[in-house]
Amino acid sequence: MNRRIAALSMLLVTSWIAVLSAQTDAQIARTNGFRAKTVAHEAGFRVFIVPDMEGMGSAVDSREILAGNETPAYAGRSSPDYWDRFRLLLTKEVNATIAGARVAGARSFVVNEGHGGNLFANILPWDLDTAAMLVRGFPKPLVMITGIDSTFGTLMFTGAHANAGSPGVMPHNFAFDAFTINDMKLNEVGINALIAGEMGVSVSLVSGDDVLIEETRGMLGKGFVGIVTKRAVGRSAAITYSPAHVRTMLRDGAAEAVRRERAGGIPPFTLPKPYRVDFTLRASYPDSVVTGVKALREFKLEQTGPRSFRLVTNSAREMGYLLDGIEGVVLR
């Protein structure tokens, strides 16, 4: 049963792991080439949106948010009929967020798939607001915030989920059982907020279950607009609201979020440098993941336990690249 709960809460996990040899110089050069690319700059107030699925309205079960094709280990872990319905709901949530931001004056929108289902390709491009640029697919350089830079006025997370080990719906945190920076526990929103914070971009909106919103307040403070899309009553059960109601909340929330940003009301999330990043890979992973992480030779990792590592760095972006590297070990 414990294994099952772990399995349910796992989004980016698989027992199917290719044992990786150390990165070659050619691989690193190729990756750096991709990292150097940018999203075209547009005029006007720019919004970067990261839609995840666990925290979206109505979703309670991993079968609703997985396509089943992520790796062979995911076969049978999806209800295709459900996932299809939830793709449309997801797309509409993003559209509502964009619509709200637009009302408050935002003019440029980049949406970066933050959910690993179907390997980061959940949104229906044909149904997405036509003004949005969509970053989709895997692997991509900064998993959840690929393409963000200092030209963005704000960062929004929709459908986010609570941290690994918390009593939220489908809680997890990348590939980790534990993740801290300078001893501060961070969830996925917190980690990405720091990367963006270093570029001067602050988080103005977070939507997800009640547990996620509360824990994120503890990390980022009161500045952002928090939208409770559902109240968790189990890891796979929740008190939920009509998708139409959730979209209304997102629309109103995004408008308020942009107003707050434009009034200069939300400071970027920062932590003192150097960052001491400590993480423990999930106990449910096979040892080959540990081996694979050790082989990421472009990062100076210190192993601090059987599955625990430390990175000391002055660059949150570098930490983001490390996350991408680890995600690659897990998903490839």
Name the site residues for other proteins (rule: CB under 8 A). 1-2, 4-5, 7, 57-58, 60-61, 63-64, 76, 79, 81-82, 85, 88-89, 167, 169, 210, 231-245
266 vs 254: CA distance, rounded Å? 14
Q: How far is the CB of 14 from other proteins (least distance, A)?
A: 15
Query: CB within 8 A of 310, min separation 6: which ones?
Result: 276, 277, 278, 279, 301, 302, 304
CB of 7 to other proteins, least distance (A): 8
Stated as kind and residue range, the H or E segment containing 245 is: helix 243-262
Q: In the complex with other proteins, which residue's Cβ is closer, 117 or 243?
A: 243
Nearer to other proteins, 82 or 299 (CB): 82
Nearest approach in angstroms of CB 150 to other proteins is 38
- Token pair recorded at residue 295: 């082989």
Report the C-alpha gap between 202 and 266 in whole angstroms: 6
Lookup: tokens for 132: 């949005």
Q: Tell the smallest beta-carbon distance from residue 214 to other proteins (Å).
A: 12
Least distance from other proteins to the Cβ atom of residue 279, Å:
24
Residue type at position 149: D
State the residue for tokens 């969509």: 134
Q: What are the residues whose beta carbons fall under 8 Å from the beta carbon of 224, sequence distance 6 or more?
A: 202, 203, 204, 205, 206, 216, 257, 266
In terms of CB distance, is 246 or 311 closer to other proteins?
246
Tokens of 95: 């559209």
Residue 292: both structure tokens together: 């694979």
Rg (CA), the chain: 18
CB of 233 to other proteins, least distance (A): 4
Query: Cβ neighbours of residue 4 under 8 Å, at least 6 residues apart?
Result: none
Report the residue number, 46 or 92, with the smaller CB distance to other proteins: 92
C-beta closer to other proteins: residue 232 or 281:
232
Question: How many other C-beta atoms can be found within 10 angstroms of the C-beta atom of residue 181?
Answer: 21
**C-beta closer to other proteins: residue 193 or 238:** 238
User: Cβ 119 to other proteins, closest distance in Å?
Assistant: 21
Q: Least separation, in Å, of the C-beta of 6 and other proteins?
A: 11
**How far is Cα 170 from Cα 165, in angstroms, rounded to an integer?**
10
- 102 or 235: whose CB is closer to other proteins? 235
Q: Which among 288, 39, 11 has a CA at the least distance from the CA of 140?
A: 39
CA angle 93, 187, 172 (to 5 degrees): 80
Residue among 126, 175, 139 at smallest CA distance from 13 = 175
Contact in structure between 196 and 50 (CB atoms under 8 Å): no
Taking Cα atoms as reference points, which of 20, 66, 67 lies closest to residue 296? Answer: 20
CB closer to other proteins out of 230 and 317? 230
Q: Please identify, using beta-carbon distances, which residue of 217 and 332 lies nearer to other proteins.
A: 217
Minimum distance of other proteins from residue 234's CB (angstroms): 4
